[in-house]
Structure 1
Amino acid sequence: MDDYGPETYGELNADVYDEWHAIDPTEAVRFLAELVKEGPAGPVLELAVGTGRVTIPLAAQGVDLRGIDASEAMVARMRAKPGGERIPVTIGDMADVAPDTDDQFAMVFVVFSTFFFLMTQEEQVRCFANVAQRLLPGGRFVLECPMPDVARYDRDQRVEAHHVGLDQVRLTAVRHDPVAQRFEGHHVLITNGGIRLAPAFMRYAWPSELDLMARLAGLECRGRWGGWRREPFRGQGNYVTVYEKPATPAS
């Protein structure tokens, strides 16, 4: 696993990502579009833009979208979709935020569980700091994250079946490191033609830890919800947090 880098997940999963993670982006797009209207005028950046599941429909609403992603294969999938070819994308580590431009952003966002693909606490802290530096005063950093459910792991490991059919079986096999707060796993696709492995590693963080990262970067928490519909957060499932850069620096 020493060869696992920021681009690895996307390069090995791009061709099946949309099929395996067919999540309706409607509510996320509505939430983000409303937030853009409330904030300062300026472009919006998606970290780990991937295949454009959220960015393409958000751009279709007239939002000035940019993206960054470490995987050329994922971005190629986005480019092949209607509207995807018009969105400027930088190939690079999302912790660097926007290394090839001096643009300031009205909003930066990252969805699904992708922020946790930054594999160390140091990388996650660096991402927060870089986001804060690139946000306009009053700009927002929006994260969708899964609440870690470590109780699922018996002896710090878990195998789960996601699909069982006549011609294929899809599993995940994961080991949990509670000290490093890491999940190290594989998607395993078994078919009559053979076995395919696609690694997926994550370094999870608790909501309070994310809040501390934000505070260190000079951002303030403006709200946390149990989803894109602003339902109450009850400590489980995916949740959405909005951080804001103060309009005036703290004295």
Structure 2
Amino acid sequence: MSSAIGNPYDDLLADVYDLMYPDALSGTAEAVEFVAGLCPPTGSVLEFGVGNGRLAVPLSARGLEVFGIDSSSRMLGDLAERDPDGKVKAVEGDFLTASTGRRHEVVLMALNTFFSLPQQEQQIDCLRRMREHLAPGGRVVLEAFDPSPYHRQEGERTTTRFLGPGTVMLESSHVVPSQQLIILVFALLADGPTRTAHTALRYAWPAEIDAMARCAGLRLVERHAGWEREPYGPGSQRHVSVYEAADAAR
């Protein structure tokens, strides 16, 4: 999950980001294959929340023209180190205002980044921005977790992640009416004093995301439980959803 609108969460954890999300890291090759399969051989991909380039750099190695938007300067610094030739064209800014000035065959948002926008109106505006960046015949790709376990959460919940450089604790509280998780992060790492930050996530069920997409001029094309096109259904812990412009010819 990467930065949306100036949230310090990713700046705080940039140096341990990949360690925080090992499941996502292990699925990188499958995600790259999925996205590349939606593009012509020399097509263009824009990733909202490009972060440190986990997906963008291998996509550019496929010969695709890759752009990225992210509000975290530290994550973009890590992207520059991973991409010394500057093949990924990165824009520092938030999803609701930043632009590449062009359209793309695939506009991508992976690893729950969509939920980092803490208000429903912002999420609709983000989908509208993705639609505005979409080339004719292009696809919007969105990866997000299933919110059922979090919606049932009562009271505070603490999760501890033991990483090589230290420990990260995440304390979350649930705001039911707004479908928000308020998360306080404590990072006790070997390189200095304790780091703290907070962030708010707004989760949404797939049906609500589809409704928001329709408000933004998009319609659902396909949905899977993962990047290998596993069937989506009851018990699926996440979904990969693909949208097209609502006015696209069938």
Q: TM-score, normalised to structure 2's length?
A: 0.86
Provide the C-alpha distance between the structure 2 equivalents of 1:171 and 1:152, rounded to a whole number of angstroms. Answer: 21
Give the % identical residues: 34
- Does the 8 Å CA contact 1:56/1:84 hold for their aligned counterparts? no
> Structure 1: which 5+ runs fail to align?
none
Provide the C-alpha distance between the structure 2 equivalents of 1:190 and 1:73, rounded to a whole number of angstroms. Answer: 18
Provide the C-alpha distance between the structure 1 equivalents of 2:159 and 2:152, rounded to a whole number of angstroms. Answer: 10
SS at match of 1:153: coil
SS at match of 2:233: coil
- Does the 8 Å CA contact 1:78/1:84 hold for their aligned counterparts? no
SS at match of 2:63: coil
Cα distance per residue 1:43-65 (max 9 Å; x no partner):
21000100000110111001110
Provide closer, same or farther for how the CA distance between residues 248 and 145 of structure 1 changes in structure 2, counting only shifts above 3 A.
closer
SS at match of 1:231: coil
- Does the 8 Å CA contact 1:97/1:130 hold for their aligned counterparts? no
Which letter maps to 1:31? F
The Cα of 1:161 is off from its aligned counterpart by 2.4
Provide the C-alpha distance between the structure 2 equivalents of 1:221 and 1:45, rounded to a whole number of angstroms. Answer: 19
Name 1:244's counterpart in structure 2: 244
Query: 2:32 matched to 1:33?
Result: no
Which letter maps to 1:63? L
Name 1:182's counterpart in structure 2: 180
Which letter maps to 2:143? E
Provide closer, same or farther for how the CA distance between residues 84 and 198 of structure 1 changes in structure 2, counting only shifts above 3 A.
farther
Cα distance per residue 1:183-204 (max 9 Å; x no partner):
1112323468753324332111
SS at match of 2:96: helix
Name 1:140's counterpart in structure 2: 139
Query: 2:66 matched to 1:68?
Result: no
The Cα of 1:72 is off from its aligned counterpart by 1.0
Query: 2:231 matched to 1:228?
Result: no
Name 1:127's counterpart in structure 2: 126
- Does the 8 Å CA contact 1:47/1:97 hold for their aligned counterparts? no
Provide the C-alpha distance between the structure 2 equivalents of 1:96 and 1:247, rounded to a whole number of angstroms. Answer: 24
- Does the 8 Å CA contact 2:182/2:199 hold for their aligned counterparts? yes
- Does the 8 Å CA contact 2:5/2:93 hold for their aligned counterparts? no
Name 2:103's counterpart in structure 1: 104
Moved more, 144-153 or 118-127: 144-153
Name 2:59's counterpart in structure 1: 58
Which letter maps to 1:111? A
Which letter maps to 1:214? A
Provide the C-alpha distance between the structure 1 equivalents of 2:125 and 2:151, rounded to a whole number of angstroms. Answer: 29
Point out 4+ residue stretches in structure 1 off by more than 6 angstroms: none
Which letter maps to 1:19? L
Which letter maps to 2:38? L
The Cα of 1:247 is off from its aligned counterpart by 6.1
Q: TM-score, normalised to structure 1's length?
A: 0.86
Provide the C-alpha distance between the structure 1 equivalents of 2:137 and 2:213, rounded to a whole number of angstroms. Answer: 14
- Does the 8 Å CA contact 1:146/1:237 hold for their aligned counterparts? yes
Provide the C-alpha distance between the structure 1 equivalents of 2:85 and 2:172, rounded to a whole number of angstroms. Answer: 33
When the two chains are superposed, the root-mean-square deviation of aligned CA atoms in Å is: 2.6
- Does the 8 Å CA contact 2:20/2:161 hold for their aligned counterparts? no
Provide closer, same or farther for how the CA distance between residues 164 and 49 of structure 1 changes in structure 2, counting only shifts above 3 A.
closer
Moved more, 190-199 or 131-140: 190-199
Name 1:214's counterpart in structure 2: 213
